[in-house]
Amino acid sequence: MANLKAAIRRIATTGLILSSVPVYALSSANENQTYEVPAKKLESFLTDYITDNFSGTFLIAQNGKILHAQGYGFANKEQNTPNALNTVFETGALTRYFTATAILKLVEQNKLSLDDTLSELFDNVPDDKQSITIHHLLTHTSGLIGDDELNAFVQVDSDTFLKDVLSTDNSFNPAIYLPTFTFKPGDRVITFSEGYSLLALIVEQRSGQPFETFLNDQIFKPAGIKNTGYQLPDWKPEQLADGYAGEAGENKGNLVDRLAKKDKLPLYLQGSIGLMSTVEDIYAWHQALYAGKILREDLVELLNTRHIGAAVSSEADVDYGYGIYLTETWTGTDWIANGPSPTARRNIPGFITRYHYLPDDDIVLIYGSNTELDREFNDTIRQLVRVLLESGYEPATASADIQQ
Q: What is the rounded distance in angstroms from the CA atom of residue 295 to the CA atom of residue 22?
A: 16
Give the Cα-Cα-Cα angle 159, 160, 164 (nearest 5 degrees): 115
The model's confidence at residue 146, banded by pLDDT at 50, 70 and 90, is confident
Tell me: the pLDDT tens digits for 357-392?
Answer: 999 999 999 999 999 998 899 899 999 999 999 999
326, with CB counted inside 10 A (0-12, 13-18, 19+), is buried
pLDDT at position 53 is 86
Beta bridge partners of 82: 74
pLDDT at position 330 is 87
Beta bridge partners of 279: none
**DSSP string for residues in 307-353:** -EE----SSS--EE-SSSEEEE-TTS-EEEE----HHHHHHSTT-EE
Per-residue burial over 388-397, b if 16 or more Cβ lie within 10 Å, else e, is: bbeeeeebee
Helix (H/G/I), strand (E/B), else coil: 4:
helix
- HEC-encoded secondary structure of 284-299: HHHHHHHCCCCCCHHH
Q: What is the rounded distance in angstroms from the CA atom of residue 52 to the CA atom of residue 266?
A: 36
Residue 23 has pLDDT above 50, yes or no: no
Q: What is the rounded distance in angstroms from the CA atom of residue 219 to the CA atom of residue 213?
A: 10
Edge-first strand listing for the sheet containing 363-369: 65-72, 56-62, 363-369, 352-358, 334-337, 325-328, 319-320, 308-309
Q: What is the rounded distance in angstroms from the CA atom of residue 215 to the CA atom of residue 226?
A: 11
Tell me how far CA of residue 116 lies from CA of 48, 111, 130, 314, in angstroms.
51, 10, 10, 35
Report percent pLDDT > 90 for the chain. Answer: 69
Cα torsion 112, 340, 73, 356: sign:
positive
Tell me how far CA of residue 100 lies from CA of 8, 126, 285, in angstroms.
26, 25, 14
Residue 181 has pLDDT above 80, yes or no: no
Average pLDDT, the chain: 86
For 2-396, CATH gives: 3.40.710.10
